[in-house]
Structures are given as C-alpha cells and as structure tokens.
Amino acid sequence: MLIQRLLTLGALAVALPLCAHQACAHDGTGHKGGRIADAGPYHIELVTRDRTVEVTIYDAKEKAVSPAGFKGTAILVVGGKPARVVLAPAGAGLAGEAEMPLGATPKGVVQITGPDGAAASGKFN
C-alpha cells in the first residue's frame, strides 16, 4: 500500500509540471518571435522593432485570427514614460508606429477591440 502511494505521488510529480506546461504553452515566445499574453478569449503576440509595433491575434487553439474588424492600442513604457501606439489591421495582424524607438521587450499593455465591439487586454512584463 505504501509503495502504491509512493508510485502514485511519483506519477503526479512527473505529470503536474507537464500539465502546467501545456496550460501555459502560450507563455514565452510566439510564432513570430515575440512575447505572448492572454487577452480575453485570445492570445496576442507582441513584436517591436525600432518604432514598429506588430500584434498578432490567436484563438484558443493558437491559430492566427484575421485582423479584419479589429483595432487596438499599445501603451508601452519607454524610458519611464508611456508611449501610446494606435494599432490597425496590417498584413496578418495589427500594426502601428511609435514616436520613438521602443526596444525589443518594452513593458506595457495591448488593448484590442474585436469586430463585435468586445475589448480585451494583455499585459507584457
């Protein structure tokens, strides 16, 4: 009985980190090399290059969602000051230009509004 409990606990110890990893599989690096955050029913990927901000929207199964009808705003912290970037559909996602270089991993929030008018936001630390 003790051996059965130990085997069960051992199996849980192995399975739990794997389950946790699967539940957070969207955390980390996205399909385009950016950072991923939850935004309501979506996952959003933030990529910044110089002054350009690109946001790709994914569904719960991590498939890209058409940006048609979406709009957004990125509020990113640069040098201790907020940089507000209006995002509009461009290519496979939303994009906009900041007034200043942003760096590769700025902190901040991206808010998106879907075609149905529902808003959601994702936080990037």
pLDDT tens digits along 104-121: 899 999 999 999 999 999
Q: Which helix (H) or strand (E) holds 21?
A: helix 2-23
User: How many residues does this entry show for the chain?
Assistant: 125
* Tens of pLDDT, residues 82-108: 999 999 999 999 999 999 999 989 999
Give bridge partners of residue 83 from the DSSP assignment.
Answer: 76
Q: What is the pTM of this model?
A: 0.77
Amino acid at 40: G
- Strand pairing class (93-97; 52-58): antiparallel
